[in-house]
């Protein structure tokens, strides 16, 4: 190899022939959130084209749903977005309840709202913390994950599991709230506020963080809508579309909260929208704690849908039969199809369920928010530098379980 000629003039250097380089990033790369492969065409460090290839975590969720009863979908639904499994549980419960045409008791609805919003806080903290860490800011990551652990402690106390709870049921929840539930949640809310302030204090005036997020990974409002982008990513472009506000499901029309929007649709806006949403979630939780009744049923009173009390199963023949029928055949909704959508951590999580009247779902289609957000990431990456993939991809918050199903 010849030594590099150091006396090239600028004009000569510009005439050096270059050709685009093809580079594989992933599927297993330390800076990638999930297992995903990107085939990049590079001109120097500028990205000319990128082929995003998902599918490395495909487990056949939709196929698996067609094999069991409706309740047996819950463990799979947990694993869609494993950062905020409770939101998936609630989303699937609401879809089944819409299919059945029932509504859960008020106390259960409040319980779901509180647990769901706690999960959303987890989701946003994980996303923002990890994005910051990938840019070299390790301390905010640790601080934010500290909060996630506090929330997981509460969820563990309520559900028995830290991550994959499988806690939702059709027409209710697996268990009523524990006696100290409200106090536990009230105790951590001020602590969370403190941590947000601390983390923002470290990041928001950091030159490196600003340079690597502001104006990077931009997407326009029209393109975002046409590509089906939802959630914080859509709101960062200035569209105030939040399912909780636009199509209030459950009890969300009773709470007073704001929908934060950005202006540019860049990494910075996405970061800030998520941070503000955490504050809004806490507002919702505070109001829900205030309004939630301490007494009352959690589950709907219908033996065709809910499992009977264990004690009754042992003592009475009716409950034994009901239990057997529900376990062996499952809940049987009427024929038809419904689409029920909720606001999950990354956007609109929809369940399209087709029922043929039997105890097994005929088809369960998940509209994963990540799928469309990831599709849009191609346009966001083209034209940026290769180093910008890390913060952009981090703020898209692609969750493999949900995207690849």
Maximum C-alpha span of the chain: 95
352 is an interface residue for other proteins by CB under 8 A: yes
Q: Is 246 in the site for other proteins (CB under 8 A)?
A: yes
Q: Which of 20, 44, 101, 160 binds other proteins (CB under 8 A)?
A: 101
User: Judged by CB, which is closer to other proteins: 193, or 337?
Assistant: 337
Which among 63-71, 82-90, 177-185, 381-389 is the span making contact with other proteins, rule CB under 8 A?
A: 63-71
Counting contacts by CB under 8 A, is residue 170 touching other proteins?
A: no
The residue within the footprint of other proteins, chosen from 75, 308, 365, 385 (CB under 8 A), is: 365
- Omega before residue 27 within 30° of 0, cis: yes
Q: Which residues contact 236 (CB under 8 A, 6 or more apart)?
A: 261, 262, 264, 265, 266, 269, 270, 272, 273
Determine the size of the site formed for other proteins (CB under 8 A). Answer: 49
CB of 163 to other proteins, least distance (A): 24
Task: Count Cβ neighbours within 10 Å for each residue of 206-243 and write b for 16 or more, e otherwise.
Answer: beebeebbeebbbbeeeebeebbbbbbbbbbbebebbb
Evaluate whether 174 touches 168 at the Cβ level (below 8 Å): yes
Whole-number CA gyration radius for the chain: 24
**Burial class of residue 245 (count of CB atoms within 10 Å of its CB; 0-12, 13-18, 19+):** middle
252 binds other proteins (CB under 8 A): no
Is the distance from CB of 87 to CB of 75 less than 8 angstroms? no
Provide the residue count of the chain: 405
Three-class SS state of 66:
coil
Using the contact rule CB under 8 A, the part of the chain among 30-38, 76-84, 271-279, 348-356 near other proteins is 348-356
Q: Which of 62, 22, 20 is nearest to 40 (CA)?
A: 22
Give the number of other CB atoms < 10 A from CB of residue 261.
19
The answer to the question of residue 67 lying near other proteins (CB under 8 A) is yes
What is the pattern of x (binds other proteins, CB under 8 A) and - over residues 212-241? ----------xx-xxxxx---------x-x
Q: Is 76 in the site for other proteins (CB under 8 A)?
A: no
* Comparison of 345 and 350: residue with beta carbon closer to other proteins: 350
Write the binding mask 298 to 337 for other proteins: x where contact by CB under 8 A, - elsewhere.
------------------------------xx--x---xx
103 lies in the binding site for other proteins (CB under 8 A): no
Would you state the structure tokens that stand for residue 321, as one six-digit string? 């039969």
Give the interface with other proteins as residue ranges (CB under 8 A).
53-55, 58, 60, 62-64, 66-69, 98-99, 101, 222-223, 225-229, 239, 241, 246-247, 328-329, 332, 336-339, 348, 350, 352, 354, 358-360, 362-363, 365, 367, 371-372, 375, 404-405
């Amino acid at each position: 190899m010849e030594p590099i000629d150091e006396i090239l003039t600028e004009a000569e250097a510009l005439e050096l022939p270059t050709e685009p380089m093809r580079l594989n990033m992933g599927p297993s790369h330390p800076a990638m959130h999930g297992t995903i492969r990107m085939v990049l065409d590079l001109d120097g460090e500028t990205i000319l084209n990128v082929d995003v290839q998902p599918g490395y975590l495909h487990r056949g969720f939709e196929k698996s749903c067609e094999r069991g009863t409706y309740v047996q979908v819950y463990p799979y639904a947990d694993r869609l977005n494993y950062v905020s499994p409770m939101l998936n549980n609630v989303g699937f419960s609401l879809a089944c309840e819409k299919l059945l045409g029932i509504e859960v008791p008020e106390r259960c609805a409040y319980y779901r709202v509180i647990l769901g919003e706690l999960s959303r806080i987890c989701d946003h903290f994980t996303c923002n913390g990890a994005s910051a860490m990938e840019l070299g800011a390790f301390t905010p990551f640790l601080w934010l994950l500290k909060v996630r652990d506090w929330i997981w402690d509460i969820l563990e106390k309520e559900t028995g599991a830290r991550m994959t709870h499988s806690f939702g049921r059709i027409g209710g929840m697996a268990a009523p709230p524990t006696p100290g539930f409200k106090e536990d949640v009230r105790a951590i809310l001020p602590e969370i506020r403190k941590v947000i302030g601390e983390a923002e204090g470290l990041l928001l005036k950091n030159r490196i963080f600003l340079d690597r997020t502001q104006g990077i990974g931009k997407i326009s409002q029209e393109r975002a809508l046409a590509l089906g982008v939802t959630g914080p990513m859509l709101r960062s472009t200035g569209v105030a579309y939040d399912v909780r506000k636009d199509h209030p499901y459950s009890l969300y029309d009773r709470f007073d909260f704001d929908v934060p929007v950005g202006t540019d649709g860049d990494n910075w806006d996405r970061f800030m929208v998520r941070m503000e949403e955490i504050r809004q979630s806490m507002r919702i939780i505070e109001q829900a704690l205030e309004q939630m009744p301490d007494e009352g049923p959690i589950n709907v009173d219908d033996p065709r849908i809910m499992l009977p009390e264990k004690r009754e199963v042992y003592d009475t023949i009716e409950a034994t039969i009901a239990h057997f029928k529900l376990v062996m055949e499952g809940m049987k909704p009427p024929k038809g199809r419904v689409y029920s959508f909720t606001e999950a951590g990354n956007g609109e999580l929809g369940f399209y369920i087709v029922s043929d009247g039997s105890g097994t779902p005929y088809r369960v289609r998940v509209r994963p928010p990540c799928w469309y957000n990831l599709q849009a990431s191609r346009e966001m990456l083209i034209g940026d530098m290769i180093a910008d993939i890390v913060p952009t991809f981090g703020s898209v918050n692609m969750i493999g379980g949900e995207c690849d199903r």
